[in-house]
Structure 1
Amino acid sequence: MRTNEWDCIIIGGGIAGLQAAIQMGRSQHTCLVIDSKEEGRSSLCKDYRNILGWPDGISGEDLRALGREHAQKTGIEFLKDHVTTLKDVNGRFHVKTTEHEFTARTLLLATGITDRIPPIPNLKECLGMTIYICTDCDGYEVIDTPTLVMGSGEAGANFALSLLYWTNQITYINHEKNDIPEDLLMRLKESGIYYIEEKIEAVRKEGDSDFKGVFLANGELIEGERAFVSFGGNDVHTALADQLGIDVMNNRHIHVNPRTKETSIKNVWAAGDIVAHSEQATIAMGEATQAAIWIHKRLMKLLKEE
């Protein structure tokens, strides 16, 4: 039954938040997960293929649904709401949402990031299936395959170069026509990467999500079998961390203790993409479990002192 006081409140119900919730539930602490949209970066991935136990892949949506079900079985409660304010008041964290107010002994921030992806028709339908965002996750999917990089300026150019480990059949389309230094352009040319500076009108696809290329604003069709997006400027959701005065790095990611995942503010932890810009669900799971274990250790001490 929901109360106003919790041992731990987890803000963010993505992969990191759910994994932490499972660990907290198994530790038998009262824990509330608050998520405003019940969707996040993992929703973009329609088929994770690098997660232990899922050799044939699993969608981010299905993985989250299973994680939520798992967490609820351990007693975790969920609230769909938007956290507006965080305050530390005499050792208790006051959490204000659009409709509620709570207090918690500990907090875990797992608010993630949002990729900057222009609204190019048919692009999102292919994301996670034949269009990807991370070479570490999905470079394997484009081995020796004609691959397009849809991006912007230097971010896209450097991304295209990173793909050379997997394939040498690369076309980089600078959709926003942002400037690229001459030396970087030369590296693209010397590496055999075909460079196009033109706006993309739409993705060409077959069926629901089978990428086949892009139509450019000049009417040209650029064919390809797979693609990546790299526009840079992703939104790291650390505004709540700012409210508490948490140490945030220049790239807007949160600095944490590498062993415990505790932030610079005592009794506040962070996990997932807001910590390490890894773009890896498995790393988010590991960090979240690590954080939850140390939250449990702290709660044992706090409860003993009360």
Structure 2
Amino acid sequence: MEQYDSIIIGAGPAGIQASIYLGRLGLKTAVVGRKSGSRLNWAHVIDNYFGFSDGIDGASLLENGFKQAERFNVKIFDEEAINISKNDNAFLVKTAATDFSSKSLIFATGVANQSSGILKEKDLTGKGVAFCVMCDGIFFKDKKVVVIGEGDYAAKEALELLDFTQDISIYSNGKDFDISNKYVSELKNHNIALLKEKIKEFVGDTKVSGAVLDDGREIKFDGAFIAVGMSSSATLSMNLGVLSKNNYIIVDSNFKTNIDGVFAAGDVTGSGMQVSTAIGSAAKAAMSAISYIKGLS
């Protein structure tokens, strides 16, 4: 069983950033996680991240990160952790193929966007179908946009879209709306329609142009934001005894968890949901892990 100073669970931007900090100091570091699992892979254009004046697609940014980490001798295992435990001296990480031992852990497992279940959603993601208004709203300036979801999250996404367009509707996709009164009033004030029709399929090949409803009618729009929620990937950490709230890992200001030697960073901590915030939290988590490994904390 190979032993490491730190093992990072998750191969997204937070996990890779943390590994760069650790590897650059000569600490033996491994990243365990599916490279294809990060939401960053589906980001069509990122243009609110420092240093890329013309923007960059998420997959390229992630690949750049892998190469940078490997330059500092970080080992990246494209494998899924299936069990994590602790003995007296180390944390034990197990995948289907490999067993690891480590002095410290950083959980950077991220979140997953919940699917709307509408046909062609995956095919048209990044082609007019999106999941984050703060990330992608700017690409729909003065366009006709729909938000798909039935709760407060959908309402907040729709209201955030007002910075870019006034032509907004919310479709609950056949479900009953469950939106707080304060949001209902704001939506009404901005003429954002609440529509209960069920959407069967998105329309478009290279770009979304609308959707077909369950009754066969077709509606036209320029963009759609899926806002049915997110699910955290915190199960492994909770099995280890790490505390969580609403399925997000609880950390202090230094991104330490309740267990000595265990840290967390990125979206799995429930904050930001942006590449930049994931990167920042990962840097702080890595610095805390470095102090722990060196016996300074």
TM-score normalised per structure 1: 0.89
Q: For residues 213-245 of structure 1, what are the alpha-carbon distances to aligned partners after superposition, in whole Å with 9 as ceiling and x for unaligned?
A: 22211222221222211012x221111111221
Please tell me whether residue 177 in structure 1 is matched to residue 157 in structure 2. no
Q: In 1, distance between residues paired with 2:37 and 2:78?
A: 11
Post-superposition offset of 1:69: 0.9
> CA shift at 1:187, angstroms?
4.4
Instruction: Describe the superposition over 1:193-223 as per-residue Cα deviations: whole angstroms up to 9, x where unpaired.
Output: 122211111112242xx22222211222221
Secondary structure at 2:268 match in 1: coil
Residue 192 (structure 1) aligned with residue 191 (structure 2): yes
Q: Is the 8 A contact 1:48 1:128 kept in 2?
A: no
1:275 counterpart = 2:269: yes
Q: Give the secondary structure class of the aligned counterpart of 2:37.
A: coil
Structure 1 window deviating more from structure 2 (210-219 vs 278-287): it is 210-219
Q: Specify the SS of the correspondent of 2:169.
A: strand
Q: Structure 1 counterpart of 2:14, which letter?
A: A
Q: Which runs of 4+ in 1 moved over 6 A?
A: none
**Cα distance, 1:219–1:37 mapped onto 2, change above 3 Å:** same
* Equivalent of 1:252 in 247, 250, 255: 247
Aligned residues of 1:95 and 1:101 also touching (Cα < 8 A):
yes
1:70-219 matched pairs, under 5 angstroms: 70-180=68-178, 183=181, 185=184, 187-207=186-206, 210-219=207-216
Structure 2 counterparts to residues 6-45 of structure 1, below 5 A: 6-36=4-34, 38-45=36-43
Residue number in structure 1 paired with 2:228: 231
- Which amino acid is the alignment partner of residue 244 of structure 1? L
Q: What amino acid does structure 1 have at the position aligned with 2:276?
A: T
Give, as a single letter, the amino acid of the residue that structure 1 aligns with 2:222: E
Distance in 1 of aligned mates of 2:180 and 2:86: 50
Q: Tell me the distance in 2 between the aligned counterparts of 1:288 and 1:127.
A: 27
CA–CA distance in structure 1, aligned partners of residues 134 and 144 of structure 2: 18
1:299 aligns with 2:293: yes
Q: Secondary structure at the match of 1:149?
A: strand
Distance 1:102 1:168, change over 3 A: same
Q: Which amino acid aligns with 2:251?
A: V
Query: Percent sequence identity over matched residues?
Result: 29
**Structure 2 runs not aligned, ≥5 long:** none
Q: Does structure 1 conserve the Cα–Cα contact (< 8 Å) formed by 2:116 and 2:226?
A: no
| Aligned 8 A contact 2:16 2:69 in 1 | yes
Cα deviations across residues 261-292 of structure 1 (Å, max 9, x unaligned)? Answer: 11111111101100134220111111111111
In structure 1, the gaps of 5 or more residues are none
Post-superposition offset of 1:186: 5.3
SS in 1 for 2:48: coil
SS of alignment partner, residue 263 of structure 1: coil
Code of the aligned partner of 2:202: V
Say which SS state the counterpart of residue 64 (structure 1) adopts.
helix
CA positional deviation for 1:37 = 5.3
Equivalent residue letter for 1:191: H
Judged with a 3 Å threshold, the aligned counterparts in structure 2 of structure 1 residues 48 and 128 are, in CA distance, closer, same or farther, namely farther
The equivalent residue for 1:241 is: 237
Q: CA deviation at 1:153?
A: 4.0
Structure 2 SS opposite 1:7: strand
Aligned-pair distance for 1:42? 1.2
Q: Scaled by the length of structure 2, what TM-score is found?
A: 0.92
Say if 1:36 and 1:83, in contact at 8 Å, map to a contact too: no
Taking the aligned partners of 1:37 and 1:51, their CA distance within structure 2 comes to 21
Q: Distance in 1 between matches of 2:162 and 2:99?
A: 51
Aligned to 2:284: 290
Shift of 1:175: 0.8
Matched residue type, 1:29: L
Q: 1:181 to 1:278 in 2, by over 3 A?
A: closer
In the alignment of these two chains, the number of paired residues is 296
What are the Cα deviations for residues 52-90 of structure 1, in whole angstroms up to 9, with x where unaligned? 122322222111111111111110111122212212211
Paired residue type of 2:233: H
